[in-house]
Structure 1
């Protein structure tokens, strides 16, 4: 799973943020990885700004361009977050005449609306990057490398949200440290905007599923939506002689190439863009780990989790038979969380498999190990606790 790449700073539309500093009007370019519009109004803020005032202004749609101490900005962001969490959102009408308890789908959509509201309000606390990607605040870290990795070369002063900058900084740390993948026996280094393989259970499924039997030729595979390249690397380590890893995201392609090079697998894995989901060829094995939730993403990284209408899932199923060698099979790696949330039924999934001219040869299941599955405070805990991730082995009917 991977996220399409938003335009870098150098290619963004020339939206601007305007604010006053005393008697002087100032402007800067505006950039948002989530394509949030430039705030219509902005005011300067500093260490004297109180959290109540900041929260009120942000809720009203006024951005605060921070000019004080960097660590105080982070504390203000946390205080604003506490105020959002304290204030209950307006309760929507009861889902039925007989019960106030929401259905799983209603609970999911309420949770998403609350998260979107929180992100929108906190996104109104802004910082200014200068023409060299420097953050000219007291006690500010050097963010130039992190911003260059995320946005590309600097070119002009640009305002971004502090929440986005913190994500950029965190992504650089993950990129440097990497994510341990026990099934691979190595580390994967995710780039900014590319879905990280922190949930290792789906990788474990690909590690233990039986490979198609060799048919007198080198075993070949496609990894569709490769993201970090973790599954392509795993297939190569398992003995697949040639894997073509594709993605529509330039960031994902750069990330996958970097990881494949680090793992010394460039002679076995070809990372390439694909105009459509599949390469124009056939393989013995086609692996696809599409976004699991049929809902609209609200951020770049969320596009690795949310897929409106399950478009990638249906494209994979409908195109699989035409891209398999005789005797080949497709591996669909998919969580059933959407089923527990009432967003898709098992019958709909099986019907989609059948209508694509496929049959299920086998299915391998595993339970989630991530912390959310045990977090009883999570509004979606019941669904997450019941979740199963499966590898569906599919073949032409």
Structure 2
């Protein structure tokens, strides 16, 4: 929580600031209402200001959409023509440029603010009831009036809708219900790989699922007949989400959840890890499922695997090779890390992506996405 402050004809005003992503409170605050044009709002936001909305809720949503279109037009004007070489160095450059543009867009659009009353009542005309969605994302309401980003609020509402209806997982034959800030298993290729890989030759009485997230991999292991599973995560949101899903599936008696940075204590016949697939700094909880600073989780899994396997056990690394096609990490580097951890590759399954972006030729990173493969590496100690 922080404080935002602004001035008008009535004097100086302040509100508490709430952000699920720990974004700092904006410092330069102006006012906007139904008379504010998108061009005027864009000028203020692009110069580092923020706008506290005082008009109709639906008009605020329309303004946010109009601002998004202006951001896209501005980015298109300033973007250098994409070169056709297709080399990894070029793709690396494009990737960093695209990611920077997305971050700048998020920062600018995140500066349109809405006022709220205690109990998560949006203090605007025609505002919807968002109390349940906000309670899921933020926890108990502040006791004083506060402000939050409209863009973030819309994300909170969308996450609540996903949580309510769930996501059908064909490999599981059931729905997974992602919580706010927990990465949803939208791409199913890696889930299919886990169901196809042969279990270790030794009886698989215990498995570890590292970085469980929604709990979907732990649920799939239970469906495959693994007797007991310990699923870990360092995110309280993820642990709560996994608990919810396992209870819905009637598998909470088979899976024990544990707060841990990576490994639980002890050894298992099978250790499964699906780490973030791109090295880089995460800027949000959802980003942390995609970006792994210095490949910390990947290397931690590899370095600790041999010590956490029982004799005859296996480690399953589920990892996209998109980083290789973007020039962010080489295959040789990954294989060197595997060898340095005292491990050997005893099998490998891979699958091509099936998500729409892999077929979108207009995507600046199309060459990398079309070449991407997700693999399940079966690893064992040397």
TM class, shorter-chain normalised?
over 0.9
Whether contact under 8 Å (2:20, 2:137) holds in the other structure is: no
Aligned to 1:300: 285
Whether contact under 8 Å (2:231, 2:258) holds in the other structure is: yes
Q: CA 1:66/1:26 → structure 2, altered by over 3 Å: closer, same or farther?
A: same
Q: Does 1:235 align with 2:221?
A: yes
Shift of 1:101: 11
Q: CA 1:169/1:94 → structure 2, altered by over 3 Å: closer, same or farther?
A: closer
SS of residue paired to 1:197: coil
Whole-Å separation in 2 of the counterparts to 1:194 and 1:256: 10
SS of residue paired to 2:378: strand
Shift of 1:24: 3.3
Shift of 1:31: 2.4
Shift of 1:111: 0.3
Q: Which runs of 4+ in 1 moved over 6 A?
A: 92-95, 98-102
1:262 to 244, 248, 263: 248
Whole-Å separation in 2 of the counterparts to 1:188 and 1:317: 28
Aligned to 2:381: 396
- TM-score normalized with structure 1 length: 0.92
SS of residue paired to 1:184: coil
Whole-Å separation in 2 of the counterparts to 1:94 and 1:48: 39
SS of residue paired to 2:291: coil
SS of residue paired to 2:279: coil
Q: CA 1:210/1:254 → structure 2, altered by over 3 Å: closer, same or farther?
A: same
Q: CA 1:48/1:100 → structure 2, altered by over 3 Å: closer, same or farther?
A: farther
Whole-Å separation in 2 of the counterparts to 1:91 and 1:372: 20
Q: Does 1:372 align with 2:357?
A: yes
Shift of 1:374: 1.5
1:309 to 279, 294, 298: 294
Aligned to 1:5: none
Shift of 1:90: 4.9
Q: CA 1:57/1:103 → structure 2, altered by over 3 Å: closer, same or farther?
A: same
Whether contact under 8 Å (1:223, 1:231) holds in the other structure is: yes
Aligned to 2:106: 119
1:321 to 293, 296, 306: 306
Whole-Å separation in 2 of the counterparts to 1:134 and 1:108: 40
Aligned to 1:362: 347
Whole-Å separation in 2 of the counterparts to 1:34 and 1:91: 28
Shift of 1:67: 1.4
- Count how many residue pairs are aligned between Structure 1 and Structure 2: 379
Whole-Å separation in 2 of the counterparts to 1:100 and 1:391: 26
Whole-Å separation in 2 of the counterparts to 1:313 and 1:137: 46
SS of residue paired to 2:278: coil
Question: Aligned Cα RMSD in Å?
Answer: 2.0
SS of residue paired to 1:333: strand
Aligned to 2:329: 344
Q: Does 1:382 align with 2:382?
A: no
Shift of 1:102: 6.5
Shift of 1:20: 2.9
2:48 to 55, 61, 83: 61
Which segments of 5 or more consecutive residues in structure 1 lack a partner in the other structure?
Answer: 1-11
SS of residue paired to 2:282: coil
Aligned to 1:253: 239
- TM-score normalized with structure 2 length: 0.95
Shift of 1:21: 4.4
Higher relative contact order (CA 8 A, sep 6+): 1
Whether contact under 8 Å (1:33, 1:300) holds in the other structure is: no
Matches within 5 A, 1:126-165: 126-155=113-142, 156-165=144-153
Whole-Å separation in 2 of the counterparts to 1:195 and 1:273: 17
Whether contact under 8 Å (1:33, 1:299) holds in the other structure is: no
SS of residue paired to 2:121: coil
Whole-Å separation in 2 of the counterparts to 1:93 and 1:157: 47
Whether contact under 8 Å (2:318, 2:377) holds in the other structure is: yes
Q: What do the CA deviations read for 1:85-104 (whole angstroms, capped 9, x no partner)?
A: 11137568999xx9999711
Q: What do the CA deviations read for 1:288-346 (whole angstroms, capped 9, x no partner)?
A: 00000001122221111001110000000000000000000000000000000000000
Q: Does 1:167 align with 2:152?
A: no
Aligned to 1:32: 19
Whole-Å separation in 2 of the counterparts to 1:177 and 1:101: 40
Aligned to 1:74: 61
SS of residue paired to 1:147: helix
Whether contact under 8 Å (2:88, 2:326) holds in the other structure is: no
